[in-house]
Amino acid sequence: MTATHTWRTYEGSNLSPALASALNTFVEQGYHGTSVRQIAAGAGLSVPGLYHHFPSKQALLVGIMDASMDELLERTRSAENEAGSSPIDRFDAVVESLLLFHIHRRDAAFVCSTEIRSLDSANRAAYIAKRDEEQRLLDAIVLDGVESGVFDTPHPADASRAVTTMCVGLATWYRPDGPMAPGELVAVYLDIARRTVGAVNGIRE
């Protein structure tokens, strides 16, 4: 994703057939309710063929979560870099990127949120480190906005987390056949996000 604004573009799945099958089954049945045999069948593989690429069901879950967080971090950094130096422009871009990711990658985002409990301790720590890295990117923008007078929230860290939580929550309820198209939903939630950090005067038409 190097061309301008490609962080806004989503074209199909970014997962291998094995990971895509695991994702679909985890969404439908949960991690603990899914068998490796089901995942292999969904990917058109034998069980030994699946194990050749992923030695365990845990490795499949880690693969989904790593791919999801790596993609989100890449899109977030790209959005912020293209936005320039203004805190409000960086904030808008990063929040839009978060919203779009949780709309277009909602199944992966849902599994990341609900199945973190199914990771073993080392894998959980590695995932949380990436999640925290994503949060720190937005935290820094909000703090820059407060320090420059663009945002007036007295609680920048809490406001930043609230915005992220709102964006992540889309994955639990958004449906493509719902009443709002992605662009309309982004506009509404971006307005809410700006107000959360006290950027009402910075809202642009």
Note every long-range contact of 122-126, with CB atoms under 8 Å and residues 24 or more positions apart, other chains counting. Answer: 123/58, 123/61, 123/62, 123/65
Residue 54 contacts residue 63 (beta carbons within 8 Å): yes
List Cα–Cα distances, 20 to 41, 108, 164, 188, in angstroms: 12, 9, 25, 31
Question: Residue 7 carries which DSSP code?
Answer: G
Task: Give the closest residue to 201 by CA, choosing from 87, 76, 84, 95.
Answer: 87
Per residue of the chain (205 residues), what is the pLDDT tens digit? 444 569 999 988 889 999 999 999 999 999 999 999 999 999 999 999 999 999 999 999 999 999 999 999 999 999 999 999 999 999 999 999 999 999 999 999 999 999 999 999 999 999 999 999 999 999 999 999 999 999 999 999 999 999 999 999 999 999 888 898 999 999 999 999 999 999 966 555 4
List phi, psi (to 5°) of 161: -65, -35
- pLDDT per residue as tens digits for the range 144-191: 999 999 999 999 999 999 999 999 999 999 988 889 899 999 999 999
List phi, psi (to 5°) of 14: -100, 10
Residue 169 contacts residue 161 (beta carbons within 8 Å): no
Q: Could you give the dihedral angle defined by the CA atoms of residues 126, 142, 196 and 198, in that order, rounded to the nearest 10 degrees?
A: 170
pTM: 0.91
